[in-house]
Structure 1
Amino acid sequence: MDQLNLRHLYYFWMISREGSIARASEVLDLAPQTLSGQLSTFEAQVGGRLFRRERRRLVLTDLGEMVQGYADDIFALTGELHETLRLAPSDRPLHLSAGVSATIHKLIAYYLLQPAMHLDRTIHLDCRTGRTEDLLHSLKRRELDVVLTDRMPTLEGVDRFAVHPLSSSTISLFAAPALAEALRAGFPESLNGRPLLANATDTPYFSKLMNWLTLNNVRMNLVARVDDSALIKVFGREGFGVFAAPTLIQDEVCRQYEVERVASLDEVTDQLFAVTRNRSPAHEGVRAICVAGNVDKRG
């Protein structure tokens, strides 16, 4: 089947909804003979019978049920499109497809996306997380409108991409209250030999943290790598070690996970970027993210 005739599909869909060619012909204002001929043409096109007769009723075959499922989706979207096109352009929903690097804390990602959600029009957000490299390929294929990442992308072969620096934050160390209190005295020497929980050792700020420890002659004991930003905080709350998180979200981290901040490390920062296909994005939501995010929030 090289081409699918949507008009034939629509006729079939109306027959399946109305239950008979006679009732569908009244709705469509077509002669029953004409509609019956259109159905036969469509059945020849799909390669099988779509209905069978049972006591003067048309009953869908297995093939007919499958085709009807697709038709339901197609014409539901068609109806939505029709209603949307009746709106003034400024009132139409704006679709935003955003890719978020998996190493960005989810609350930070929310803060970055929030400006787009506060535009004076309805936003339909499609948010995807993953590896920065994979997300950039999706951006190149126009499957995404913007990619949010915590590392400067290597844009070999995609020179037309634009990188927009967003907010940055210092990194703070957190621990369960008893451990945090013990570590504050004599900091940073107090960190020596203490257990360290790593969220993901390939995050840019983790290498900065390790460099900071080395420069301060501190050797911590890396006891766990937890590739989940929420789970690592649970381990920290239960006293298994110290973990790092952006200072920007310290209040939420302390409140939600019942931990305390040990100290902020001014020399260790987490820089965020938005990657777009054009230096001046036409998409209102992407522009809002780039403008609002281009503020230093070191915390």
Structure 2
Amino acid sequence: MAINHKHLFYFWKTAREGGVVKAGEALHVTPQTISGQIRLLEESLGAELFDRQGRSLELTETGRLVLEYAEEMFSLSAELEQMVRHYPGGRPTDFRVGVSDALPKSLVYRLLQPAVSLPEPVRIVCREWRLERLLAELLEHRLDLVLADTPVPAGLERRAYSHHLGESGLSFIASRSLLPQQPLPFPSGLGHLPLLVPGEDAAVRQKLMAWLERRQLRPKVVGEFDDSALMTAFGQAGVGAFAVPSVIEDECLADASLVLLGRVPELRSGYYAISMERRLTHPCVLAITESARQKFTEVEYLEQPD
């Protein structure tokens, strides 16, 4: 016999509300009606869904299994209603993007924002992993695009294409609480500050450390972060100075507790959109690449000497 969805709905509501009384109040029916509907469902399934101990209800093993399916079914039902109400033309297109964990999250948002501003509805699905894992997903066509700070590595088993979005120098930033009363000269003052640095997966890491060495600057490295957002949070807390791509410098400095120490335009980070297409055709990818190139052109003017 097919499951009666009304019976299943009453069971689902009871499990979510924590009892038949609260479920009855939520649905504006009597607790007896709720109990009767659940009993009919149990009879059709041939299994108890609740362990009844007085007024207390505990899900049985079968009840937990049925609840998992009910959650998914009624979640899809709610999603369907949203689609019909808000997207009369149909379900939005899924745009599946892999984001290298070395990329600053605010930069990723700036890069992806044009895709959700297209006339046709788009639902972005983001996955953040190491680049190797993302490329494997791309090659299996489980991702439409990968955003990274390096191009496709040589020797990749199958062909993927790197589309250069732009470059940015680095801006060094610190919390006001970390600084002495007198302004520190830049860049020599970095040698007197604790420093937070990107993790080894970040393409700019080696360039940064080599630049410090050439300048004979030896700050105390107090933190190393694969996640740039976490590094920024530690920087905001005054743990150490840190560097961000100049293209997102303005976002960081919107926090009044942070100050710009100086810019190093020669410490370049490149940013790439990696796809299976040699010639880009996906409307979301086209919107991202066109907008990104404009943004990176604007930051080139920011980095020009005064």
TM-score after normalising by structure 1: 0.71
Is residue 11 of structure 2 the alignment partner of residue 12 of structure 1?
no
Quote the Cα distance in structure 2 between the aligned partners of 1:197 and 1:97: 32
Separation in structure 2 between the aligned mates of residue 223 and residue 112 of structure 1, nearest angstrom: 30
CA distance in 2, matches of 1:56, 1:79: 22
**SS of 1:12 mapped into structure 2:** coil
How far residue 278 of structure 1 moved from its aligned partner, in angstroms, is 1.0
Tell me: CA distance 1:174–1:58, structure 2 relative to 1, closer, same or farther (3 Å): same
Deviation at 1:78, TM superposition (A): 9.1
1:74-153 alignment, distance < 5 Å: 92-153=91-152
C-alpha deviation, 1:213, in angstroms: 1.5
- Report percent identity of matched pairs: 31
Q: Quote the offset at 1:73 in angstroms.
A: 4.3
The answer to whether the Cα contact below 8 Å between 1:100 and 1:130 also exists between their aligned partners in 2 is yes
Residue 44 of structure 2 aligns to a residue whose secondary structure is strand
The answer to whether 1:280 aligns with 2:265 is: no
User: Could you list the per-position Cα deviations for residues 51-80 of structure 1 after superposition, in whole angstroms to 9, with x for gaps in the alignment?
Assistant: xxx789943236798579648846975997
Q: What secondary structure sits across from 2:127 in the alignment?
A: strand
Output the amino acid matched with 2:98: G
Q: How many matched pairs?
A: 254
What residue number does 1:24 align with? none
Counterpart AA for 1:136:
L
State the match for 1:250 in structure 2: 249
8 A contact 1:95–1:124 mirrored in 2: yes
Alignment-mate amino acid for residue 176 of structure 1: S
- Deviates further, 202-211 or 149-158: 149-158
Structure 2 CA distance for partners of 1:253 and 1:57, relative to 1, 3 Å: closer
Of 169-178 and 113-122, deviating more is: 169-178
In structure 2, relative to structure 1, the CA distance for the partners of 1:71 and 1:194 (3 Å cut) is closer
Distance 1:67 1:208 in 2: 55
- Counterpart check, 1:59 vs 2:44: yes
Query: 1:162-196 CA distances to partner (integer Å, 9 max, x unpaired)?
Result: 11111321101111225457685432222224321
1:265 equivalent in alignment to 2:255: no
Residues 247-292 of structure 1 show CA distances to partners (whole Å, capped at 9, x for unaligned) of 1111221223721010000111221101111112442212211222
Cα separation, 2, equivalents of 1:270 and 1:78: 45
Q: 1:78 to 1:226 in 2, by over 3 A?
A: closer
Alpha carbons 1:155, 1:161 under 8 Å: kept: no
Equivalence for 1:34:
none
Structure 1: which 5+ residue stretches go unaligned? 1-10, 20-53
Is the CA contact 2:175–2:259 (under 8 Å) kept in the aligned structure 1?
A: yes
Cα deviation for residue 157 of structure 1 reads 3.6
Where do 1:136-285 residues align within 5 Å? 136-177=135-176, 179-180=178-179, 185-256=184-255, 258-285=257-284
* Cα contact 1:237–1:257 (8 A) shared by 2: no
Give CA deviations for 1:18-41 in whole Å, capped at 9, x if unaligned.
66xxxxxxxxxxxxxxxxxxxxxx
Query: Are the equivalent residues in 1 in contact too, given 2:165–2:273 (CA < 8 A)?
Result: yes
**Partner Cα distance (1:280, 1:17) in 2:** 48
Between the aligned partners of 2:147 and 2:70, the Cα distance in structure 1 is 36
Distance 1:74 1:277, change over 3 A: farther
Which entry has the higher C-alpha Rg, 1 or 2?
1
- The 1:12/1:267 distance shift into structure 2, 3 A limit, reads same
Q: CA deviation at 1:100?
A: 0.5
Q: How many angstroms apart in 1 are the aligned matches of 2:191 and 2:82?
A: 64
Distance 1:161 1:89, change over 3 A: farther
Distance 1:57 1:206 in 2: 60
Alignment check: 8 A CA contact 2:134 2:146 kept: yes
SS at match of 1:264: strand
221-230 or 238-247, which deviates more: 221-230
RMSD: 3.6
TM-score (norm 2): 0.69
CA distance in 2, matches of 1:272, 1:165: 6
- Name the SS of the counterpart of 1:239 in structure 2: coil
